[in-house]
């Protein structure tokens, strides 16, 4: 796991903690509050017990959510026996909250929906608002952002109708958090700043501090690190003024991570993380203590001190086991597994990562399940067990693809396309302005030249007998020549820029092969030409095997190094008339005009053999890689369009991957076609 991915995890945890702390409206209580309530319970009447039991359950939420459950169940049982609907609904809400903390989202949803039904029936509007918010939290953890947002907007409408500005500010903050997880940072900031404005108007200082921290997280994601630090520090100062020890640890954690991930200031990072750990131990926030221990493990691991990192990871793991925090325990187990993988202890890495997967599946933590599949795939790939690596990668890829809805994916695609078009339009506009400037300069120089020539002739006719007039005329002529040469130079520069712009629009900058746009255009042209003149044509679709493993293990600089050298080897094996391009990532497309199926197979075999036999050296590190290829032939396969032709080659490439990689397959139509 890289530094940035560790950082993103911590930011997400911190912003979730802010949501939980605010949405659930659970008031932190120390040991003294618990002791006081326990004593009160011993002397309480039967009618007083539900209220005290509910207060005890809430008090235990932040200390040990598992211990909150029996108190809330007792409160529910007595309240239902007494027909005390208010306390019964409160107990149901607290049971839902406890199960959220314990990552038991199915039980959390069941109790919260029961609370919502009862609160609506009895018109307990405050509990209706709380339950709607809590359901938003539950579906956020389930990665169902659309449903989560629906609950949050319903809660917002109810809070606005009640005129409770504190809850309205809370709802805006929650909605901003969903947009954060959705990746829409502009929208997230819009709602966070609305929450900040409302909380400032009502002087909700705790809410202001939470919101400042959340805004800082967004600026982190947008890579505006100095601005993020400013908001973290404002949040920290306000929490310190309030004496809110539980709130202080959030900006402390985030600043600790940003200092080691982006500034490599390990001493400052260590100071923040150790302070957060100390506070969490003082307030008996045992889950928070486990998170801080895990953060310290990440910090020492980033510095290359694996032994110290492992000690902190194991402490965090044991504490999470005691608390029954399955979702958080899965995170520690994955970190330990990843550390063992880095140290080459693959059996231990497998053991811890498998345990992480089992826990993640128990609590239905989709994100952690995906990451465990990915880690297992990488471990098996490193061990050389490619069949199992492929099996886990397929499961990871399936969950990854399922995560984004078609609507979200389409929105992102439109945004990306819009940005790309906007960038090109700006380039074209700039070039057109330069061309217009050159034309204006040329016209201006021509006019000046004509005027100078006319003046020169007049002077010549008037002073033709004088040597001085001859010298002046020569000077004017020289000036015209200089202007002409300047004009020619400017024209040459313009032509060169036009040429460079054209080349950059058709070439891949890394491999210096044709880019995807050009290669697809070339395929359309060659396809039409071959169909029109009845000539042979073949295409080879290529993909480097396990290239992601190279990037993850050695870094993207090594990956780029390999791509450039492999592109050179591909160029060496083709003819002048062949067209080779980078289709995308580690995929290449080769168009072979006037080539039949047998000829294409020979070219593919030469390429595959050369890459398999080549050992690449990046510094002292020897690197080897293989390539899989799929071939389609115009005469043999009779595609109707160039797109269908390309799809055939792609299908053949997929067959090569499925058959074990490092091989070439010829397109075979599906059975029954």
The pLDDT tens digits for 583-631 are 999 999 999 999 999 999 999 999 999 999 999 888 777 889 999 999 9
Q: What is the mean pLDDT of the chain?
A: 83
- Within a domain: residue 428? yes
Last residue of a domain, one of 403, 435, 461: 403
- Do 545 and 661 reside in the same domain of the chain? yes
Last residue of a domain, one of 506, 529, 553: 506
Q: pLDDT band at residue 494, thresholds of 50, 70 and 90?
A: low
- Do 399 and 414 reside in the same domain of the chain? no
- Within a domain: residue 117? no
pLDDT reported for residue 78:
92
Q: pLDDT band at residue 452, thresholds of 50, 70 and 90?
A: low
- Within a domain: residue 276? no
Q: Note the Cα 662 to chain centre separation in Å.
A: 31
**170 vs 158: CA distance, rounded Å:** 12
- Do 539 and 497 reside in the same domain of the chain? no
- Do 382 and 428 reside in the same domain of the chain? no
- Select the more confidently predicted residue: 242 or 450: 242
**615 vs 609: CA distance, rounded Å:** 12
- Do 426 and 520 reside in the same domain of the chain? no
pLDDT digits (tens, 9 = 90+) for 403-439: 654 334 434 433 443 344 344 445 545 555 665 666 6
- Do 365 and 487 reside in the same domain of the chain? no
- Within a domain: residue 350? yes
- Whether 641 shows a pLDDT value over 80: the answer reads yes
- Whether 546 shows a pLDDT value over 80: the answer reads yes
The enclosing domain of 618 has a CATH number of: 3.30.70.270
User: 82 to each of 75, 79, 92, 308, 576, how far by Cα in Å?
Assistant: 11, 5, 15, 55, 90
- Whether 143 shows a pLDDT value over 80: the answer reads no
Query: Which residues make beta-bridge pairs with 622?
Result: 617
Q: pLDDT band at residue 6, thresholds of 50, 70 and 90?
A: very low
pLDDT digits (tens, 9 = 90+) for 106-137: 899 999 999 999 999 999 988 998 899 899 88
- Within a domain: residue 83? no
- Do 414 and 398 reside in the same domain of the chain? no
- Do 416 and 306 reside in the same domain of the chain? no
pLDDT reported for residue 644:
95
First to last CA, the chain: 45
3-class DSSP state for residue 589? strand
**526 vs 211: CA distance, rounded Å:** 59
Q: Could you tell me which of 394, 385, 377 has the C-alpha nearest to residue 549?
A: 377
pLDDT reported for residue 74:
92
Counting the structural domains of the chain, the total is 3
- Do 413 and 368 reside in the same domain of the chain? no
pLDDT digits (tens, 9 = 90+) for 260-292: 778 788 888 889 888 989 988 888 888 888 888
- Within a domain: residue 540? yes
pLDDT digits (tens, 9 = 90+) for 75-84: 999 999 999 9
The enclosing domain of 295 has a CATH number of: 1.25.40.10
- Do 534 and 604 reside in the same domain of the chain? yes
**Contact criterion met (CB below 8 Å) for 668 and 649:** no
- Do 420 and 391 reside in the same domain of the chain? no
3-class DSSP state for residue 243? coil
Last residue of a domain, one of 480, 506, 532: 506
- Within a domain: residue 198? no
Q: Which domain holds residue 485?
A: 406-506
- Do 579 and 627 reside in the same domain of the chain? yes
- Whether 458 shows a pLDDT value over 50: the answer reads yes
Q: Could you tell me which of 365, 373, 405 has the C-alpha nearest to residue 13?
A: 365
- Within a domain: residue 271? no
């Amino acid at each position: 796991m890289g530094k940035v991915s560790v950082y993103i995890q911590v930011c997400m945890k911190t912003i979730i903690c802010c949501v939980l702390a605010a949405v659930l409206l659970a008031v932190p209580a120390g040991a003294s509050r618990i002791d006081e309530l326990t004593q009160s319970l011993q002397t309480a009447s039967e009618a007083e017990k539900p209220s005290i039991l509910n207060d005890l359950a809430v008090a235990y939420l932040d200390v040990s959510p598992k211990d909150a459950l029996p108190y809330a169940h007792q409160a529910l049982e007595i309240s239902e026996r007494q027909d005390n609907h208010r306390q019964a609904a409160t107990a149901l809400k607290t049971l839902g909250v406890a199960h959220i903390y314990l990552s038991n989202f199915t039980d959390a949803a069941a109790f919260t929906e029961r609370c919502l039904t009862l609160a609506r029936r009895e018109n307990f509007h405050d509990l209706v608002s709380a339950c709607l918010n809590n359901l938003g939290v539950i579906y956020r953890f389930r990665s169902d952002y659309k449903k989560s947002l629906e609950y949050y907007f319903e809660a917002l409408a109810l809070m606005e109708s009640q005129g409770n500005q504190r809850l309205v500010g809370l709802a805006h903050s929650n909605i901003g958090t969903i947009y954060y997880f959705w990746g829409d940072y502009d929208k997230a900031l819009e709602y966070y700043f609305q929450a900040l404005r409302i909380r400032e108007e009502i002087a909700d200082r705790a809410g202001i501090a939470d919101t400042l921290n959340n805004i800082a997280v967004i600026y982190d994601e947008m890579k505006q690190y100095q601005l993020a630090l400013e908001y973290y520090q404002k949040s920290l100062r306000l929490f310190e003024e309030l004496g809110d020890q539980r709130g202080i640890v959030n900006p402390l954690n985030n600043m600790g991570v940003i200092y080691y991930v982006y500034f490599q200031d390990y001493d400052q990072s260590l100071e923040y993380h150790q302070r957060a750990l100390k506070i969490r131990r003082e307030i008996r926030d045992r889950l928070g203590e486990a998170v801080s221990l895990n953060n310290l493990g990440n910090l020492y691991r980033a510095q290359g001190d694996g032994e110290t990192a492992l000690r902190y990871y194991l402490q965090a793991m044991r504490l999470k086991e005691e608390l029954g925090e399955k979702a958080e325990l899965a995170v520690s187990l994955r970190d330990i597994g990843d550390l063992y993988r880095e140290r080459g202890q693959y059996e231990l890495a497998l053991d811890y990562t498998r345990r992480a997967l089992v826990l993640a599946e128990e609590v239905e933590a989709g994100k952690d399940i995906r990451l465990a599949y990915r880690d297992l795939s990488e471990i098996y790939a490193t061990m050389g067990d490619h069949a199992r690596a492929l099996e886990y990668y397929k499961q990871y890829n399936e969950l990854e693809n399922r995560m984004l809805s078609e609507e979200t994916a389409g929105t992102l695609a439109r945004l990306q396309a819009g940005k790309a078009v906007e960038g090109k339009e700006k380039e074209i506009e700039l070039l057109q302005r330069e061309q217009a400037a050159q034309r204006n300069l040329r016209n201006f120089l021509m006019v000046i030249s004509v005027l100078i020539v006319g003046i020169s002739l007049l002077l010549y006719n008037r002073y033709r007998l004088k040597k001085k007039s001859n010298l002046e005329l020569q000077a004017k002529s020289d000036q015209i020549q200089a202007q002409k040469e300047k004009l020619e130079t400017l024209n040459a520069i313009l032509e060169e820029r036009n040429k460079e712009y054209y080349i950059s629009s058709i070439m891949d900058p890394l491999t210096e092969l044709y880019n995807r746009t050009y290669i697809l255009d070339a395929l359309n042209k060659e396809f039409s030409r071959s169909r029109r003149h009845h000539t042979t044509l073949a295409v080879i679709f290529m993909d480097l095997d396990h290239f992601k493993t190279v990037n993850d293990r050695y870094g993207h600089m090594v990956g780029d190094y390999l791509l450039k050298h492999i592109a050179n080897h591909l160029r060496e094996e083709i003819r002048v008339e062949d067209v080779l391009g980078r289709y995308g990532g580690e995929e290449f497309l080769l168009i072979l005009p006037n080539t039949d199926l047998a000829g294409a197979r020979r070219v593919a075999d030469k390429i595959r053999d050369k890459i398999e036999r080549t050992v690449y050296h990046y510094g002292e590190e020897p690197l080897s890689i293989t390539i899989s290829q799929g071939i389609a032939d115009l005469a043999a396969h009779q595609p109707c369009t160039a797109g269908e032709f390309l799809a055939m080659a792609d299908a053949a490439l997929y067959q090569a991957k499925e058959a074990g990689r490092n091989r070439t397959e010829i397109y075979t139509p599906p059975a029954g076609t």
